[in-house]
Structure formats: structure tokens, C-alpha cells
Amino acid sequence: MKLYTFFRSSAAFRVRIALNLKGLAYEPQPVSLPKGDHRRPEYARVNPQALVPMLELDDGTRLNQSLAIIEFLDQRYPQPPLVPEDALGRARVRSLALLIACEIHPLNNLRALNYLRKDLGLLEEQVNAWYRHWIAEGLAKLEAELTQSPGAGSFCHGDAPTMADCCLVPQIFNAKRYKSDLTPYPMAMRVFEQCMQLEAFDRAQPSKQPDASE
Amino acid sequence: MKLYTFFRSSAAFRVRIALNLKGLAYEPQPVSLPKGDHRRPEYARVNPQALVPMLELDDGTRLNQSLAIIEFLDQRYPQPPLVPEDALGRARVRSLALLIACEIHPLNNLRALNYLRKDLGLLEEQVNAWYRHWIAEGLAKLEAELTQSPGAGSFCHGDAPTMADCCLVPQIFNAKRYKSDLTPYPMAMRVFEQCMQLEAFDRAQPSKQPDASE
């Protein structure tokens, strides 16, 4: 399998964690977002969404969208499971993953920040405030979910990593990079620390990717 | 079942379509986003994410995040299926749904627009340009997916509605409301028109909801 990835893309980071948790080898294909590699015609031809991550299977089939890729991996390589079997557990894990993937990340990705900087001419200080605002709003909701809704254990759901943790960890990396105050989210941070003990999470982090030197 | 909904919320609209396609009756519980009902403590107590839609099952269990809710409904009430059975079909439908749910909608929801208006003091003209920018970017990707990746039929995937169509239709409603130019997306619009022939989609539209008079 080939993974079209960028070291700092948190959506690609999610899939790298899932591949590592499943023990699946893959060939990384770096796509530099700051250089606009994803917008080049040769990439758009193979990827209509012109985004990373994209997973290319050995037969050439290409899959887009990090959560769709993780669910695919979970169906094809069921062990260890990243989405629980029971309908309510599945709903909870997906809901936590989507809370991060829909309520925080899209507002803070490179595309959105570039629009604020270039099209709207905002100051870097305003862009940083925007970034931290959505982190704070989203992580407060996540913290409330982890503490109020039954199901959390040493990980977001139970005592083994799931797709929700694959989303949480890259989001916390981003929050740290933008110097967000993380003290209001002790439960989320406890789960983060727990995840980072695992080699699968550690090895997937941005600074350990082949394209990180960029 | 009770659905906490707001007539104009496109995430709630997705779930209303899914419930209608499944032939499931539900009791709508209006939550006015402009009035801030979702931020009231009594709502946050039952919903840690403080968002709509939320589905409350007859036993009191509460589910959040539109795509997680639709997947839950699909598992519990399998007919008609809204996510295909085969792993690649599932990945494609989820990828299209997530393209809308992650790449377009979060940038254009009320929360984001309010930040642009109130916190950043942008002009209404700038807010509208932002709105249409993300619609145009996202729908171009969707159109490319529908025309380039194999699988589209009279609907986004094959010849029956799926979770992808549950996301497409509310997004087109939003685009029309903000007077986006939709001529560059003939395939997406053909699917939209096809969906709107179905009573399940028509009955779920904002203007036909009990709280629409607001």
C-alpha cells in the first residue's frame, strides 16, 4: 500500500496511526501542502479531492478521506478493532472522531488559515486567535463527552485505542504547536499521554516522518 | 425516537432525510441555533457537544454527530441500506459524505460565520464571499469525484440514495440560499434533482419543518 501523506497533515497522521496499530506496512508518498503539490494537475488527475491523505491499494484502488480510510482498514484488517462491534459503541467512537474531524480540524487547516491571511488580510495574531478559539471550543466539547458520556476508559472509548484516539492525538499535536492552553482538558490530555506511550502513535508523529526535514 | 433539530441546520437535515428514507417516525424537538438554545445549560447537560442534531432513542440513549447517527440507523434498521455492504463501496460513500461534512459545511456553519461577523468584524459582503468560496472549492471536488471515480449512477453512488446523498442535498440547499453559481456542477445538480423527486428528501427540507416559521 502507498499512503500519500504530508508530515504535518493531521488527517494523514490519523491514518498513519491506524496503519501502525494494525501492523500494516505502507510506502509513504510525500505530498507537500505548503508547496501546493496537492493542487498540481498530475495529483488532481489521480485524486479528484486533491487532498491528503490518499491510500493506494496494491491493485491501484485509491481511497480518500481519513475516516473513510480508517473504517476501510478496520473492515479489511479487523484486528485490533478500531471501531467497536456494538451499534452504540460504534456510534460513540464515530461521534468523538467526527467531533474532532468536523468541528475543529476543518476550521484550522492550512487552506482556511491561508484564506484568512491572504484573502482577508488578517494579522498573524488574529489568525492565531481564530486557531485557538476553535481548539478551545472543540476540546471543551470533547472533554465534556469524555467525562459525561459513559464509555471512556484509559482511552477515548474503553481501554484500547480506537478511531477516536487516532483523531485526538493529531489534534493535540496541533494545539500544542499553536500554544493552546490545554489545562482545561485533563481527561483528554490523560488519554493523549496514554496513547503516546504506544509505539504506533509515537512512530506516526510529524517529526518522525521522512518528509519532516522540509 | 426524538430528534433535536433546527429547520435550517444542514446536519439535522441529513438525519431527517435518513429517518424518512428508513420510514422511521420521530418526534422533532426544535432547538433554535440563532436564539442560542443549544448553548443553554439544560441542553448542554443532556448533550455534551451542545450541537444539533441529537437523536434520543426510546430508552433515553442519546447520539450525536449526523454521520454517526446515520450509520447507527443503517446498522439498526438495515432497509433500505444507506451505506453499501462492500468495503470499497462503503469507503466511497463515506468519502463523499465526509467531503461535504468536513471540507465544506464546518467552514460555513452559523458558528463560523458569527465569528467572522462579530469577532473579526468582517463586512457581510466578505462573509458571503467566504461562504461561496468554500462551496465552490468543495463542490468542484465533489463534481470531480462524481465524474472521475467509478460508482456514480442516478445518485452519488449507484441508483439508490445513500448517506452521500443525505449530505449532498442539504449542502445544495445552503448553496442556493447564498446564491452560489451552481452551473459548474451539472452532475451534482442532476443527483440533487433526482433526490428531490423522492418524498423522503422533499419532506425533510427546511421550509417543511414545524419550526420553519421562526
Given an 8 Å threshold on Cβ–Cβ distance, is B48 in contact with A75?
Answer: no
CATH number of A2-80: 3.40.30.10
Task: State the smallest CA–CA distance between residue B82 and chain A in angstroms.
Answer: 15
Of A48, A75, A106, the CB nearest to B87: A75
Given an 8 Å threshold on Cβ–Cβ distance, is B87 in contact with A76?
Answer: yes
What mean pLDDT comes out for the span B185-203?
98
User: In this complex, is the C-beta atom of A44 within 8 Å of any C-beta atom belonging to chain B?
Assistant: yes
pLDDT per position as a tens digit, A47-60:
999 999 999 999 99
pLDDT surpassing 80 at residue B115:
yes
pLDDT of the residue at A113: 96
Interface size A-B, in CB pairs within 8 Å, comes to 129
Mutate to test the interface with A, among B38, B45, B49, B72 (most CBs of A within 10 A): B49
Q: What is the DSSP string of chain A?
A: -EEEE-TT-HHHHHHHHHHHHTT---EEEE--TTTTGGGSHHHHHH-TT--S-EEE-TTS-EEESHHHHHHHHHHHS-SS-SS-SSHHHHHHHHHHHHHHHHHTHHHHSHHHHHIIIIIS---HHHHHHHHHHHHHHHHHHHHHHHHHSTTBSSSSSBTS--HHHHHHHHHHHHHHHTT---TT-HHHHHHHHHHHTSHHHHTTSGGGSGGGG-
Given an 8 Å threshold on Cβ–Cβ distance, is B141 in contact with A49?
Answer: yes
pLDDT surpassing 90 at residue B64:
yes
User: In this complex, is the C-beta atom of A78 within 8 Å of any C-beta atom belonging to chain B?
Assistant: no
User: In this complex, is the C-beta atom of A128 within 8 Å of any C-beta atom belonging to chain B?
Assistant: no
pLDDT of the residue at A214: 62
Residues of B in contact with A92 (CB under 8 A): 68
Whole-complex ipTM? 0.97
Average pLDDT value for chain A: 96
User: In this complex, is the C-beta atom of B87 within 8 Å of any C-beta atom belonging to chain A?
Assistant: yes
Given an 8 Å threshold on Cβ–Cβ distance, is B69 in contact with A75?
Answer: no
pLDDT per position as a tens digit, A115-164:
999 999 999 999 999 999 999 999 999 999 999 988 999 999 999 999 99
pLDDT of the residue at B149: 82
Average pLDDT value for chain B: 96
CATH number of B87-201: 1.20.1050.10
Given an 8 Å threshold on Cβ–Cβ distance, is B144 in contact with A107?
Answer: no
Closest residue of chain B to A11, computed from CA coordinates: B102
Residues of A in contact with B67 (CB under 8 A): 94, 98
Domain boundaries, chain B: 2-80, 87-201
pLDDT of the residue at A111: 93
pLDDT of the residue at B214: 62
Task: State the smallest CA–CA distance between residue B211 and chain A in angstroms.
Answer: 25
pLDDT surpassing 80 at residue B106:
yes
User: In this complex, is the C-beta atom of A132 within 8 Å of any C-beta atom belonging to chain B?
Assistant: no
Low-confidence ranges of chain A (pLDDT < 50): none
Please tell me whether the overall predicted TM-score, pTM, comes out greater than 0.80 for this model: yes
